[in-house]
Copies of this chain bind each other. A is one copy, B any other.
Amino acid sequence: MANVHISTDDLDAMEKRFRALFVNSLAGFKSANLVGTQDAEGNTNLAIVSSVVHLGADPALMAMIARPNTTRRDTLDNIRATGSYTFNHISPAMVKQAHQTSARYPKHVSEFDAVDLQWEHSEAVTAPYVVGSPLAIGMQLEEIQHLAINGTELVIGRIIEIRMQEDAIGTDGFVDIEALGSITVSSLDSYHSTRSLGRLSYAKPDREPEYL
């Protein structure tokens, strides 16, 4: 099936932007979230990220990889300053606006205003939520680990609030994020909706898994 084998020499020879698109394609489909923050004065900030990952269920933790020297620096500064941030899933209707938050706006410009998305606050979380997000999560910073290998930062936080439509939560705890309209991203700029192939039963060595 594979008819090309790409080596490290091939990677090294790639033009910078080509390599960025190429290597960012390789991990597979990624979560698509808008990270909402605000600074100590209450100025809001919004940034699209594709690096949010589940870290643990108990305690409920999520991690995000932040790259310094990108527009996400405001986000990281705000998280350090306030300890508060939100993850907001992206719906198909919000894709263009979500993507546009990656433009390098001046520091005093809120991406909420620039891309015309509304924010709202909850009692539990200082950071702003995105109005209309299909599933939104309030986060409290736990720690930031510097990854010396390439200068990125691993931002680890605890989930302190979740906002969504209740009927998306199954009787077993599964949340149907496809039904909610959450999308996924590949590489740097490609957005995708999903189509369920089904859920499979808990795997045990002595039997085949079955579709639930």
Contact = CB atoms under 8 A, between A and B. Distances in A.
Nearest to A143: B149
A8 interface: yes
B21 A173 contact: yes
Given A103-B204, A187-B174, A192-B178, A23 B54 contact: yes
A28 B177 contact: yes
Given A28-B182, A189-B202, A18 B195 contact: no
Nearest to A170: B21
Given A122-B5, A162-B5, A173-B21, A198 B202 contact: no
Nearest to A166: B4
Interface in A12-57: 14-33, 50-57
Interface string A98-128: 0111111110010000100000001010000
A85 to B, nearest CB: 14
A179 B208 CA distance: 28
A95 to B, nearest CB: 6
Assembly stoichiometry (copies): 2
Interface residues of A, number: 119
A89 interface: yes
A136 to B, nearest CB: 7
A102 B209 CA distance: 10
User: Among the interface residues A166, A191, A203, which one has the most CB atoms of the partner chain B within 10 A?
Assistant: A203
6 contacts: A20-B57, A30-B30, A56-B149, A103-B203, A177-B187, A194-B194
